[in-house]
Structure 1
Amino acid sequence: MNKLISCVIFLFTTLFLSFSLSSPSYPTVHDVLRAKGLPAGLLPQEVDSYILHNDGRLEVFLAAPCYAKFETNVHFAAVVRGNLSYGSLTGVEGLSQKELFLWLQVKDIVVENPNSGVIVFDIGVAYKQLSVSLFEDPPKCNPYGVLKKKMLRRGSRGFEAQM
């Protein structure tokens, strides 16, 4: 009887290990971006999950909205969506970029020529060309934004007289 129990335990252990070792590891959304000719750093480190639909629609889920900095400040909504094809993410929703004092919705992100080292952001009123090297690594995303961090560092002095 003990041999039978030992054999059953051995069999289940062997099956468990073979399934866990052979189960496919799913690529991260950053891996998916690279495979589609885009830099991984277009999306922050804090991505919780994503869905890539058969028709190319990409939905990326973050735990909460957050801010990051490339050349300018960017805001990621809790859900970022777009149509992913090789070298482009079009019809983007949930990503905005600060230009001067305005937050502008990013509409499309395109790498037209991978050899050029340039990525183009369509922000509605203009096209902004940036170096792809700015987006090599996924940025750390801050839920408060840069402005709030600066205010927290200053303390609560307000507008009192400075001497």
Structure 2
Amino acid sequence: MAIINTKTIIVSLCTLSLVFIFSPQLSFSSSIHDLLISKGLPAGLLPKEVKSYTVSEDGYLEVFLDGPCLTRYENRVLFESVVRANLTYLSLSGVVGLSQEELFLWLPVKDITVDDPRSGLILFDIGVAHKQLSLSLFEDPPNCESKNHAREERGFEAVR
């Protein structure tokens, strides 16, 4: 009888292990910030208030926050409740849900790339321009300044 129970336990543990190994929506990083670092990106690209995230086998990343999040690097930045992007080594491309304030306009961030980590620069594609910023601005995950009023801060954009 003990042999059957032992076999059942071993089979169950092996099955459970295979589920974890081959599940496309699981991340083995302890946090989104650790995942960014493992991909050569700075941890501070996303705020501390990230609730959860998923990443598929092909690198499609979805990051979930409790609500819109307003923070500041060099300029103000607005994270929507869900931020999506394709995550590859040194890059977030096809970003959706992230806007940056430039000269009183809120422009969507489309891509974020670290071309050469030794340069100390990170490149933001905001559609109409490419903006280079110091990687040191993104070393630590920022705090949200105002989750409740983030949409109001965007002015007419909030009406859309």
TM-score band w.r.t. shorter chain: 0.7 to 0.9
Please provide the CA RMSD for this pair.
Answer: 1.6
So what's the TM-score if we normalise by structure 2? Answer: 0.74
Distance 2:118 2:60 in 1: 26
> Which stretches of structure 1, 4 residues or longer, exceed 4 Å deviation after superposition?
none
Distance 1:75 1:96 in 2: 5
What does residue 131 of structure 2 align with? 128
2:86 corresponds to which of 83, 88, 91? 83
SS at match of 1:31: helix
Deviation at 1:64, TM superposition (A): 0.5
Whichever of the two has the greater Rg, that structure is: 1
Instruction: Check whether the contact 2:43–2:139 (CA below 8 A) recurs between aligned residues.
Output: yes
Distance 1:128 1:139 in 2: 20
SS at match of 1:103: strand
1:60 corresponds to which of 60, 63, 83? 63
1:40 aligned partner, one-letter code: A
Distance 2:54 2:112 in 1: 19
What does residue 140 of structure 2 align with? 137
Pairing 1:31–2:34 present: yes
Alignment of 1:39-50 (within 5 A): 39-50=42-53
Give structure 1 stretches of 5+ with no counterpart.
1-24, 149-163
Give structure 2 stretches of 5+ with no counterpart.
1-27, 154-160
SS at match of 2:143: coil
SS at match of 1:38: coil
Deviation at 1:140, TM superposition (A): 0.2
Instruction: State the percentage of identical aligned residues.
Output: 61
Distance 2:107 2:79 in 1: 12
What does residue 116 of structure 1 align with? 119
